[in-house]
Amino acid sequence: MKPLAGLLALTLLLAGCSSSQSDSARPDAQLTVFAAASLKKTFTELGARFEKDHPGTTVTFNFAGSSDLVTQITQGAPADVFASADTANMTKAVDADAVAGEPVNFAGNTLTIVTPFGNPKKIATFADLARPGTQVVVCAPQVPCGAATEKVEKATGVKLAPVSEESAVTDVLGKVTSGQADAGLVYVTDAASAADDVTAVPFPESTDAVNTYPITVLKEAANSQAAQDFVDLVTGPAGQDVLTAAGFATP
């Protein structure tokens, strides 16, 4: 009986060690953040900081136009945090009962004109975007940067005839940097991130369309505590320093 008992004990010990090693190899938590495309640079930096401060937690981002993100969320896509580039799309998430609490405004952003580096078409004003033969790219109306563009058009009385309407501000920037457009309307933060490839042309009418960015924990969050910790990072001093350095305004 003793040899059998010893064998059984050894088997249980080995199984326990194997289980322990397997558990330690798995990450403790997964955090999924849906964020507006214009937040890619800053949130990637904050995600790395969050992982450092929360060992074992992996942050996964889904960056896209806010309208696309809220559609995915309301259709059941798994996510823990939602950061929108405007309040209108966040309101859609609230109305769909998809958020866990009151969204918090954490940043502001305004539009600027970008042209290929050197501004070959010599665009100087918003009205110049409507000159015949000027190929302009903007965001689609349902996207926050597109809604802001429409506000500027109404404020100035200048109607643009874009050659394409993109689903994310980063796509507009890409069209300009690749030489597929003479100009585009993006956020000042996007222009700053591509300063070596584009020339930014500020215009005073942009103040008529300032976008406010809200963030919230989602109701179906699989990791609500980690989600709240990430929101606290974004809205706290460390997050605000990163956002300000990138050109975002305080809300």
- Do both 173 and 88 map to the same domain? no
Q: What is the pLDDT of residue 28?
A: 73
Three-state DSSP class for residue 87: helix
Same domain? For 204 and 113 the reply is yes
pLDDT value of position 155: 92
Q: Summarize pLDDT for 62-87 with one digit per residue, the tens.
A: 999 999 999 999 999 999 999 999 99
Share of the chain above pLDDT 70, in %: 89
Whether 196 and 224 share a structural domain: no
Statement to judge: residues 216 and 101 lie in one domain? yes
In a domain, 150, yes or no: yes
Task: Please indicate, yes or no, whether residues 172 and 56 belong to a single structural domain of this protein.
Answer: no
Per-residue pLDDT tens digits for 106-127:
999 999 999 999 999 999 999 9
10 is a domain residue:
no
pLDDT at 19: 40
91 is a domain residue = yes
The dihedral built from the CA positions of residue 53, 56, 60 and 66, taken in this order, carries a sign that is negative
Q: Is residue 8 part of a domain?
A: no
pLDDT classification of 131: cutoffs 50, 70, 90:
very high
Residue 2 lies in a domain: no
CATH assignment of the domain containing 120: 3.40.190.10
User: Over the stretch 3-32, which tens digit does the pLDDT of each residue have?
Assistant: 444 444 444 444 444 443 333 334 578 999
147 inside domain: yes
Describe the chain by its helix, strand, coil percentages, rounded to 5: 45, 25, 30
pLDDT of residue 29: 87
Known binding-site residues for molybdate equal: 38, 66, 169, 187
What's the pLDDT tens digit per position in 161-172?
Answer: 999 999 999 999
- pLDDT value for 35: 98
pLDDT in tens, 180-223: 999 999 999 999 999 999 999 999 999 989 999 999 999 999 99
How far from 123 is each of 120, 129, 155, 209, CA to CA, in Å?
Answer: 8, 7, 19, 20
Domain count within the chain: 2
Residues 115 and 40 both lie in one domain:
no
Q: Are residues 168 and 49 in the same domain?
A: no
Q: Is the dihedral of CA 222, 61, 139, 77 positive or negative?
A: negative
- What is the end-to-end Cα distance of the chain in Å, rounded? 74
Same domain, 114 and 200: yes
* Domain identity same for 160 and 186: yes
Does residue 14 lie in a domain region?
Answer: no
**Containing structural domain, residue 41:** 29-108+212-246
Distance CA 239, CA 231 (A): 9
Q: pTM for this structure? A: 0.84
152 falls within a domain: yes
Q: Which parts are annotated binding residues?
A: 38, 66, 169, 187
